[in-house]
Amino acid sequence: MKKADWIKILLLIPLFGALQYSCSKSNTVPQGITSNGGGGDTTGGGGNVTFSNVVYATNTDWQGHTVQLTLDVYQPPNMVAGKKYPLIMNMHGGGYVEGDKSTDAYKCQLLADSGFIAVAINYRLGWDNGGGTLCAGDTASFNEAAYRAMQDANAAMRFLVSKANDYSIDTSWIFIAGASAGADVALTSTYINDAYAKVRYPKPAAKFGGLKTAGNNLTNKYTIKGICAIAGALEDSTLINRSQAYPCISFQGELDEVVPINFGYYLGCTNYPFEVGSLCQYRQLVALNVPAIANILPGQGHGNNGDSGYDNPFMMGSTACFFHTLINKRKPVTGIYIGTINTCAN
């Protein structure tokens, strides 16, 4: 089959998906076009940080200790004086228990090299996860951890917008990204407001206060223009609706055992939150005619930090292309891509 025919089939996938699949159907990967598999990122990376360990908020952690929350800023090489650049804020993974912004250094370097102000943040970690025993954690404690992380993401974004001139940020183009738990934070902090939180998280909301007022006293406003979610989930597909639906590029392993690729329970534990993964989110978005790309890696699980075997150059290159297409007001390619297909070439 000619390359042009493959491309046509790929472009038809979202249309078939929107018609044939819903978030209440089979939790399997729809048949698509299989390309080559991914490979783990062996480059290690490092990244050239411009501003490091900048304090963006102060708050109380899960054990009652006051902590300062920090971020690192990566800027493009050969910046033009006076020019503003789009922002991508990144959150690391680790199940709300472990992880650090330093693990996003290579991702941020790649994004900065692609013309973005890339930021990696630390957010509050910790919950009673049952000592790591599967399904033995305390759900209320998990919900508190998720709520604190949303507060911190919002505080970091307010801070960055307040420092737009210092960091050369174009506040009209703000994006958010994350991997695993960090992808959950990227999605939930974008879609969940205080009104919803008071219903879904009544106890954390009463205990910790509002989602958009914690950690610092800044009141800067912003609008997210797109999301990169690496093995991330939302808890409710109806959060994606006509009043709020954000372009999204996602990456996930077909056999992800931590975050459901379609829908299901976190870690497969019925006492943990129900979630909707990459495929369900994708279908919601294309049904609303919102640009979306779901990259699925066959035969792969959650992987390291949610990467499922995808490497950072592929994920960040695809993400940079998707976001630049939005910035340049061109219609991005939309589709489900099986394997490592370069969506920028289509």
3-state secondary structure of 326: helix
Predicted pLDDT of residue 47: 46
Q: What is the largest CA-CA distance in the chain?
A: 62
Find the CATH number of the domain harbouring 88: 3.40.50.1820
- Number of domains comprising the chain: 1
pTM: 0.88
Residue type, 29: V
pLDDT above 70 as % of the chain:
86
Burial class of 324 by CB neighbour count within 10 A (0 to 12, 13 to 18, 19+): middle
**In the numeric block, which tokens belong to residue 54?**
């900048």
Q: Read off the pLDDT of residues 223-248 as tens digits, 9 standing for 90 and up.
A: 999 999 999 999 999 999 999 999 99
pLDDT above 90 as % of the chain:
81
Residue 154 has pLDDT above 80, yes or no: yes
Predicted pLDDT of residue 342: 87
Q: Read off the pLDDT of residues 59-115 as tens digits, 9 standing for 90 and up.
A: 999 999 999 999 999 999 989 999 999 999 999 999 999 999 999 999 999 999 999
Q: Read off the pLDDT of residues 276-330 as tens digits, 9 standing for 90 and up.
A: 999 999 999 999 999 999 999 999 999 988 899 999 999 999 999 999 999 999 9
For 108, phi then psi, to 5°, come to: -70, -35
How many residues in total does the chain contain? 346
Q: Read off the pLDDT of residues 162-221 as tens digits, 9 standing for 90 and up.
A: 999 999 999 999 999 999 999 999 999 999 999 999 999 999 999 999 999 999 999 999
User: What's the mean per-residue pLDDT of the chain?
Assistant: 88
Domain enclosing residue 271, as ranges: 3-128+136-345
